[in-house]
Amino acid sequence: MLVLVTGSVGFIGAALTECLLTRGDHVIGIDNHNTYYDPKLKEARLSRFIEHKNYKHLRLDISDRGAVKQAFETYKPQRVVNLAAQAGVRYSLENPAAYIDTNIVGFGNILEGCRNTGVGHLVYASSSSVYGANMALPYSTEQSVDHPISLYAATKKSNELMAHSYSHLYDLPTTGLRFFTVYGPWGRPDMALFKFAQAILEDKPIKLFNYGKHTRDFTYIDDVVTSIVLAMDRPAVKDANWTATNPDPRSSSSPYKIYNVGSNNPVALLDYVTALENALGKTAEKIWMEGQPGDVPDTHADIRDFVSEFNYSPSTEITTGIKSFVDWYLSYLNLASALQSPRVQ
């Protein structure tokens, strides 16, 4: 298939792009290479597949309506996976405009491109953050997500609503995937695992918010990519059992679906840190901090509907996933150091 992947050199996007190319798909990648974190990491991810004969890279911002329109009209993708977004709960407190521009305006442009060029299925990244103030664990797609506690979460909830309207109005199949704390090799530097590893190696203390009492449903990158591909290959269909008098938020009388993508196995933050310390062979100095605005204390994904639909459940153990991250991280540091060192004459 010809698949358009937005955010194609982001953490999840690059891993998905490699997977699709490996199985024989053609990929049009879109990314704006912004400076939210060091763009060198994005360039390094891109170097893994930029020369692939089935890959075409477009450096553009999805908030640019004209550029997105031209990309859809030129390439006419059969499937679209929208992973481009301004990420980060905490950053949304500092720069809300970035979230409106990319996550709302940009997503609207993607929806328009899909409906105007007959795309067969749009899969898009939502987030576990949409569960917001909800304290009923595990988080189920049957639950209300009407109380976000960060603008980032609000934009992701908005994406789900916008997608439903296009599914209803234009019969566009859409599937939203609520990702739960994705981690692994080639991850984002603003996320805890990356920050903790860097601090431990530099003999600097790590900050544990909420006094380390968080639990998170960590999901390994390979499991996430497999889940995306499974969803992409099976376009959402109308739910024949859906009723307006007792509406199911997971589905619709339109071709619209929502799934959680998580490990269904929450891990205490302190156990996560211990696994990282063991993988690095170093103990972290810890600073205990109060909770931060926008953070939820715990996450736990109920993935029964995804397992039932696709016969797949993420299975990577946290110690295995963190060891893979550490192996990659140490290799990447060596590569970055070599690139920065003066050339020996």
Active-site residue numbers? 152
Report the first-to-last Cα separation within the chain, whole angstroms.
48
Helix, strand, coil % in the chain, rounded to nearest 5 = 45, 15, 40
Alpha-carbon gap, residue 117 to 305, rounded angstroms: 30
- By residue count, the chain amounts to 345
Please state the separation of Cα 128 from the chain's center in Å: 10
**Contact (Cβ atoms closer than 8 angstroms) between residue 152 and residue 312:** no
Report which residue type is found at 76: K
Alpha-carbon gap, residue 264 to 149, rounded angstroms: 22
**Contact (Cβ atoms closer than 8 angstroms) between residue 187 and residue 219:** no
Alpha-carbon distances, residue 125 vs 26, 71, 112, 291, 300 (angstroms)? 20, 20, 17, 26, 18
